[in-house]
Each structure stands twice: as structure tokens, then as C-alpha cells.
């Protein structure tokens, strides 16, 4: 049985993941960072159309990253795991909702062993 190889570029091309690294340069998180399509559409992307749509999505993304950075600083001291579980709370469709997220520190893909962070929803299972 052939082991399936992970190709980050293919995941990006297929729209399964989104590279958010450029959005995060001023947050202090300099490692390449990706979010899954599900996380993007369920947590970051807004359903409404407003003049400030990109600004609001950018704020949501930065809030997710702020929470991640907090957990990186506090929980990484006592944990050796590459997985960090955390949650964020946002208003969605007029109601406050909690979203359970996971950060995985791993390699970019099977052909590039440089480190990266992939963020995904806890119900998506383990992603690269």
C-alpha cells in the first residue's frame, strides 16, 4: 500500500488551505501559517457584505493568532506536544459562539522540512 504524500502547494491550489502568513507579519508570528478552508469559512470569513469586510476578517484572523500566541507562550513551557488546543469566541449570525481550534507545528510538506503552523477546527482531525 502506497503512503499518501502531503503537498502543501496542492492543498493551497485546491483551496483546502489558505496561506495567512502575510497577514501576520506584524503580530510577531513569523513562521509560515496556514488555515484550513473549514476554519476560514466557519470562523474568519463573514457571511455579510459590508464596506469593512476585509477589515473585519483581518481582525478575526488576528484575534485567532493572538489567542494562539498566548497559548504558545503559556502552554508550550510544560508541553512537548506539537498540537495546541484552544478556543476563540466570535459573534456569528447575531450570537456569541465558541470555536474549538487546533494548532499543529509541523513541516511545510513532504518535500519541504521547514517548520510551519497549520490551524484547523478540532472536528477536522489531524492535518499537516
> How many folded domains does the chain comprise?
1
Per-residue pLDDT of the chain (128 residues; tens, 9 = 90+): 455 677 888 889 999 999 999 888 778 788 999 999 999 988 888 766 555 556 788 888 889 998 988 888 887 677 778 888 999 998 777 788 899 999 998 998 888 899 999 999 999 865 44
Q: Would you call 40 helix, strand, or coil by DSSP?
A: helix
Its pTM stands at 0.83
The pLDDT assigned to 128 comes to: 42
Q: Residue holding cell 493568532?
A: 65
Closest CA to 44 of 32, 33, 29, 31: 33
Ranges assigned E (strand) in the chain: 17-19, 33-36, 83-92, 95-109, 112-121
Q: How would you list the strands of the sheet with 17-19, edge to edge?
A: 17-19, 33-36, 112-121, 95-109, 83-92
In a domain? residue 99: yes
**What is the longest distance spanned by two Cα atoms in the chain?**
51
| Kind of pairing between the strands at 33-36 and 112-121 | parallel
pLDDT of 25 reads 78
Enclosing domain of residue 107: 8-124
Task: Kindly state whether residue 1 falls inside one of the protein's structural domains.
Answer: no
Q: Is 25 inside any structural domain?
A: yes
Q: 119 in a domain, yes or no?
A: yes
Do the domain assignments include residue 100? yes
Amino acid at each position: 500500500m502506497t503512503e499518501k504524500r502531503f503537498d502543501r502547494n496542492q492543498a493551497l491550489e485546491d483551496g483546502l488551505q489558505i496561506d495567512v502568513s502575510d497577514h501576520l507579519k506584524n503580530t510577531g508570528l513569523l513562521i509560515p501559517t496556514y488555515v484550513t478552508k473549514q476554519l476560514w469559512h466557519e470562523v474568519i470569513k463573514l457571511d455579510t457584505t459590508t464596506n469593512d469586510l476585509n477589515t473585519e476578517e483581518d481582525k478575526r484572523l488576528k484575534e485567532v493568532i493572538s489567542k494562539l500566541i498566548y497559548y504558545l507562550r503559556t502552554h508550550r513551557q510544560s508541553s512537548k506536544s506539537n498540537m495546541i488546543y484552544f478556543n476563540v469566541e466570535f459573534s456569528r449570525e447575531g450570537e456569541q459562539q465558541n470555536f474549538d481550534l487546533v494548532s499543529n507545528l509541523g513541516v511545510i510538506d513532504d518535500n519541504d522540512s521547514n517548520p510551519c503552523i497549520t490551524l484547523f477546527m478540532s472536528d477536522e482531525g489531524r492535518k499537516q
